Structure 1
Amino acid sequence: MSGDTLERVGLSTQVHSLGAAHDLGVQLYYPHRLTPLGAEATLERFTLTAVAAALGPVTAGLLTYSTGIRIDTAPYETAYQCNVPLRGSLRTSVGEQRVQATRSRAAVYTPDVDTAISGWEHPCVMLAVKLDRGMVERRLAQEAGPDWELRFDPALDVASGAAKAWITSVRELIARVQRLSRIDPGLATFLAERCVDGFVASTLRLDAPAVHSRSANARIVAQALEAITYSSGAPLSLGSIAEYVGVSGRSVQAAFREIEGRSPMQAQRSDRLQRVHQDLLRAADGTRVHTIAQRHGFSHMGRFSAMYQRTFGELPSQTLDAVALSG
């Protein structure tokens, strides 16, 4: 994998003026109006710290303002947004509705209303996630059916369940991207799609998936494995697999539980481990394990090495060393 196939998606920076903070916010998120709150003296020490992952259709960032501020925007139009204060709290409005967001209560902003974020009289660390509208609404229609109607509550409980797991995964995503100077575009797309899948699962209020017969579930699994096996590059998200099969993501998961006794993501991980193994066996001199692992969607080398060792009985470096010795 040559260097020109990789792209930079991580950002970690500090700015020290309102103008620079405004420009950075526009770059990462949306046009907005930024208004300082509190004493004029605090502006002399003003700082915005941003640590973000910019993955095309998804931007996830940790934003820390050193003083109270207010942000006003027009309707987002092209995106959904979810904000979670990880420290402190904030008052915000989604159109005419008011939300007091906290660590356990996120604010969800839809594309069709004005928004205002305020109440940062004290410093606050906010997790801000922007998600492409088209991608979110395709997943919504896929999970809820073609006649779905917008049912977003402006407040989302993130203290438990799928929403809590999604917030944890977004924070891990930001940290992961910071470790990588550059990332394969296919892997970046997979991570963005998985983030959208998690958001949709967290916010939808749906009944249980339709119950399919065992033969129907077997067909679902066969078609999903077809997509997994014959796709190239980075792994597919659950939403992409479900879209290929033509059912909801929950139906794919239920079918795998019945037929395979594992999740579709576990099946895909097994397939990708086999691909890494075959690439290591064919590797040329000078090939790095990290390069091959990332090509197939593994970015955390510690976890990858442990999974590889459990599967093949040796570390990936040992496979590579054995190939070099035999050559």
Structure 2
Amino acid sequence: MLVAPDAFTEPVVSAAAFNRLAVAYLHAFHVVQLDLDGRRRQLGPRSAIVRAALDHMHAHAAEPITVQGVADAVHISARGLHAAFASELGQSPSEHLRGIRLAGVRDELRFAPPEQGIAAVARRWGFVHLSRFAESYARAFGELPSETLGGRRREVATGARG
């Protein structure tokens, strides 16, 4: 198939070509990563996509990003992103993003001033259904958000640091 040389001056054609080249590049190479115990392991090409997606998620977790937005940022389809996450992490991109956001809430509650409200922090991280948020938080961390904030309040009251 021949393409006119000036076709790449069109923004849509140029962006599509870039996306295809970027995905082909990511699929072409294996990545070596250290496990938590220091052993090296070779990861497949999907790992590069997952790593790029995770970097994007961490950088923008407090913003209203979507799975489609993450997929667009790493130049892959949402379906491809789901497949990469399933094979590499055993969970969906939205589940992982929720975990990142829950950790953000927890960090904020752990270091929040004693008068800080849980609902405001949860909403700031994108959680609007507070009872579902509390259930997810308890499953993830083994304590309720009020216990995390309560622990901070006790530390402030007693002058203890943990």
Which of 141, 145, 155 does residue 312 from structure 1 map onto?
141
User: Which deviations, in whole Å up to 9, do the C-alpha atoms of 1:263-287 show, x marking residues without a partner?
Assistant: 0111111111111000000111211
Q: How does 1:70-81 map to 2 (within 5 A)?
A: none
Q: Aligned to 1:251, what secondary structure does the other structure show?
A: helix
Write the distance in 1 (CA, Å) between the matches of 2:87 and 2:61: 27
Aligned position for 2:70: 241
Aligned position for 2:54: 225
Write the distance in 1 (CA, Å) between the matches of 2:49 and 2:92: 13
Q: Aligned to 1:247, what secondary structure does the other structure show?
A: coil
Report the Cα offset of residue 215 of structure 1: 2.1
Q: How does 1:279-290 map to 2 (within 5 A)?
A: 279-290=108-119
1:246 counterpart letter in structure 2:
H
Which of 297, 319, 323 does residue 126 from structure 2 map onto?
297
The 8 Å contact of residues 253 and 264 in structure 1, kept in 2 or not, is answered as yes
User: Which deviations, in whole Å up to 9, do the C-alpha atoms of 1:148-169 show, x marking residues without a partner?
Assistant: xxxxxxxxxxxxxxxxxxxxxx
Report the Cα offset of residue 235 of structure 1: 4.3
User: Which deviations, in whole Å up to 9, do the C-alpha atoms of 1:131-184 show, x marking residues without a partner?
Assistant: xxxxxxxxxx8xxx949xxxxxxxxxxxxxxxxxxxxxxxxxxxxxxxxxxxxx
TM value normalised by structure 2: 0.68
Write the distance in 1 (CA, Å) between the matches of 2:101 and 2:79: 22
TM value normalised by structure 1: 0.35
**Does 2:93 align with 1:264?**
yes
The 8 Å contact of residues 228 and 235 in structure 1, kept in 2 or not, is answered as no
Q: Which runs of 5+ in 2 are unaligned?
A: 1-11, 18-26, 29-42, 157-162
Q: Which runs of 5+ in 1 are unaligned?
A: 1-140, 148-211
Q: Aligned to 1:286, what secondary structure does the other structure show?
A: coil
Aligned position for 1:101: none
**Does 2:105 align with 1:253?**
no
Aligned position for 2:9: none
1:254 counterpart letter in structure 2:
A
Q: Aligned to 1:297, what secondary structure does the other structure show?
A: coil
Moved over 4 A (4+): none
The 8 Å contact of residues 53 and 74 in structure 2, kept in 1 or not, is answered as yes
Identity %: 32
2:70 counterpart letter in structure 1:
I
Larger radius of gyration, structure 1 or 2?
Answer: 1
Q: Would you tell me which structure has more strand in proportion to its own residues?
A: 1
The 8 Å contact of residues 233 and 295 in structure 1, kept in 2 or not, is answered as yes
Question: CA 1:232/1:313 → structure 2, altered by over 3 Å: closer, same or farther?
Answer: closer
Q: Aligned to 2:44, what secondary structure does the other structure show?
A: helix
2:135 counterpart letter in structure 1:
A
Aligned position for 1:106: none
Provide the aligned length of Structure 1 versus Structure 2: 121
Report the Cα offset of residue 313 of structure 1: 1.1
Report the Cα offset of residue 229 of structure 1: 0.9
Write the distance in 2 (CA, Å) between the matches of 1:257 and 1:232: 20
The 8 Å contact of residues 114 and 152 in structure 2, kept in 1 or not, is answered as no
Q: Would you tell me which structure has more helix in proportion to its own residues?
A: 2
Aligned-pair Cα RMSD in Å: 2.2
